[in-house]
Amino acid sequence: MIKESIFDFLEKLEKNNNREWFAKNKYLYTDSYNNILEVLDPIIGEVSRFDADITNLEAKKCIFRIYRDVRFSKDKSPYKLNFGGFMVKGGRSSGNAGYYLHIENNKSFIAGGIYMPPAPSLKKIRQEIYYNIEEFKSILNHKENVKYFKEISGEKLKRPPKDFPADFPDIELLKFKSYGFIHAVSNGLCLSPDFTKFVVKLFKQLSPMVKFINRGLEM
The two counts, helices (H) then strands (E), for the chain are: 8, 4
All residues at 6 or more sequence positions from 10 whose CB lies less than 8 Å from its CB, including other chains: 32, 81, 82, 83, 103, 104, 105
- pLDDT at position 115 is 95
Ranges 60-74, 155-169, 195-209: which has the least confidence: 60-74
- Pick from 137, 140, 143: nearest CA to 180: 140
Based on the structure, what is the number of domains in the chain?
A: 1
Nearest Cα to Cα of residue 5 among 41, 29, 37: 29
- In angstroms, the Cα distances linking 109 to 28, 49, 124 are 22, 22, 27
Q: How far apart are CA 29 and CA 197, in angstroms?
A: 25
Closest CA relative to residue 9, chosen from 76, 102, 82? 82
Q: Are strands 179-185 and 98-104 parallel, antiparallel or unpaired?
A: unpaired
CB atoms within 10 A of CB 186: 11
The residue ranking higher by pLDDT, 62 or 75, is: 62
pLDDT at 10 over 90: yes
* Domain of residue 196, residue span: 4-217
Reduce the secondary structure of 1-55 to three states and give it as a string.
CCCHHHHHHHHHHHHCCCHHHHHHCHHHHHHHHHHHHHHHHHHHHHHHHHCHHHC
Determine contact, residues 39/1, Cβ cutoff 8 Å: yes
Residue 93 confidence (pLDDT): 84
Quote the pLDDT of residue 150: 84
Q: What angle do CA 94, 96, 101 make, to 5 degrees?
A: 95
The answer, yes or no, to whether residue 219 has pLDDT greater than 80, is: no
71-120 pLDDT tens trace: 888 888 999 999 999 999 988 888 999 999 999 999 999 999 999 999 99
Across the chain, which distance is largest between two alpha carbons, in Å? 60
**With bands split at pLDDT 50, 70 and 90, how would you rate the model's confidence at 154?**
confident
pLDDT of residue 18: 96
Distance between CA atoms of residues 55 and 41, nearest Å: 11
What CATH number does residue 11 fall under? Answer: 3.30.930
Query: How far apart (Å, rounded) are the C-alpha atoms in residues 41 and 39?
Result: 6
Percentage of residues in the chain with pLDDT exceeding 70?
Answer: 100
Read off the pLDDT band of 56 (50, 70, 90).
confident
